Amino acid sequence: MKEKKEVASRCKDKHICCSFTGGGSQNDHNIKLAPEKCAVYTSFVGLSLNTPLPVSKWPKPGVAINWVLPPEPVCSTDIDCKKLPKSSCVPSAAKGPKRCLCKVPYKWDPIKGACSKVKCETSKCRGERKRKKMIAGLTYTGGTIAILGSFAILVYIHLQRIKRKSREQLVRERQQILNANNSSGRSAKLFSAKEIRVSTGNFSKENVLGSGGFGEVYKGILQDGTVIAVKRAIFGNTKGNDQVLNEVRILCQVNHRSLVRLLGCCVELEEPVLVYEYISNGTLYDRLHVSCSSDHIEAPLNWKQRLAMARQIAEGLTYLHFSSVPPIIHRDIKTSNILLNEKLDIKISDFGLSRIVDNEATHMTTCAQGTLGYLDPQYYRDMQLTDKSDVYSFGVVLLELLTTRKAIDFSREVENVSLVSYMRKMVNQQKLLDAVDSFLKKGASKLVLETMKLIGILAISCLDEQRHNRPSMREVTDEIEYMLHIIEDKGAK
């Protein structure tokens, strides 16, 4: 409390006169008059001005400090901000000094003197954070999908390019195979994959004509209306592919009325395809063994028809063995590989196992292949293939024409399962005519029965265990031709 003369003059006749001048940063004061004195209380922390307490019980003076939060450190470059992680040196305000301002999402904490993450405590903040996380997640997911999609597209394009190059290489290799060992100079017409798919209805099951170990045969119609037979190898069967390509090479070198005519091939598909003339009347096997047991019953073949078929088959094989240059061994002669047209003329087919023989070679060594019941046993034993192996198979076909029995039939007695074994037994017992189809013998003249017997003996000679004892196909053809002339001259059927 301070007393000043200029203030005292204002008191005049007052008993007690006090004056107080506040100042500085004091923000509160309280003055109270007592009978004996004046008292004043000053404080920085504040005191209720209406306090009832006497002056003696007033609290001790305190200090209330008002201060400004410390700002971020001043800096010149980012190097000055090393002591404050997660900050960078940037201007804090217009014309203000550069300071180490915290990077997003950090915020300056003046109490800790560090850059700290802002704590999200309000619902609005949490919703905003959730929204940002969702956007970030969707962005990340979308980006990942886009990257993976782009990668998948690139991989697909790369694989397609590899596949296309592999197919082109495969086509070139197949064309080289077809051109190899082709002494005739003829080449098969190349059909496009599109032509083959369109003609067969994309290999529709409704167009299947037959199937075998090599694959399936489909009926097709070309754009010009030509009806064709399309043979397709089994997918992934390398052996079947080789057989189809081998068949093209063989058929490009032959031309005979008793051999099926090759129209061309397709090497663009994953499996090679052959295109033949369409033979409409099925196979000789079907005509002999299936037609009578099926709903579509056809008249049995008479003896003259069967002899004519035997002659055509023999002529076809004679052409392969003696007229073709170089000679060709069919290696799979059987009734299911002999096709019939509408006039019942025969067409030998399926040259997949056929082999071209060197003119100077007596035989060729190869793994024995063929069909059970038709396979030459000596070829099976010593792996030496000659034209006499075809003679053996033809002998079995002759027996089927004579007896209308299957080459192998497990429904027969064990000792008679093989038609060859059964006929040898009948010949040895001099009962050959007993084995002849009863339909053929019915109403036949003695001369016709004699030709049946001679054909049976000819067939047995073709089936001799030793190949050198078998006749050649040329000799067989002459024999059949002679008997057919006898029948025709006598007007017999």
Known binding-site residues for ATP equal 231
Check residue 93 and report its DSSP letter: S
Please name every residue paired with 217 in a beta bridge, in sequence order, or none if there are none. 210, 231
Return the percent helix, strand and coil in the chain, to nearest 5: 40, 15, 40
Q: How many CA atoms lie within 13 A of 445 on its CB side?
A: 9
Q: Could you tell me if 423 and 403 are in contact, meaning their C-beta atoms sit under 8 angstroms apart?
A: yes
Q: Locate all alpha helices (DSSP H) within 180-234, ordered by sequence.
A: 193-199
Secondary structure element (H or E) that encloses residue 266, with its range: strand 262-266
Rounded distance, CA 38 to CA 470, Å?
159
How many Cβ atoms from other residues are within 10 Å of residue 12's Cβ? 7
Annotated binding site: 231
The residue annotated as part of the active site, out of 78, 332, 434, 437, is: 332
Check residue 230 and report its DSSP letter: E
**Which one, of 138, 72, 64, lies nearest residue 106 by Cα?**
72
- Rounded to 10 deg, the angle between the 303-318 and 473-490 helix axes is 150
**CB neighbours of 208 closer than 8 A, spacing ≥ 6?**
216, 217, 218, 219
Whether 332 is catalytic? yes
Catalytic residues: 332
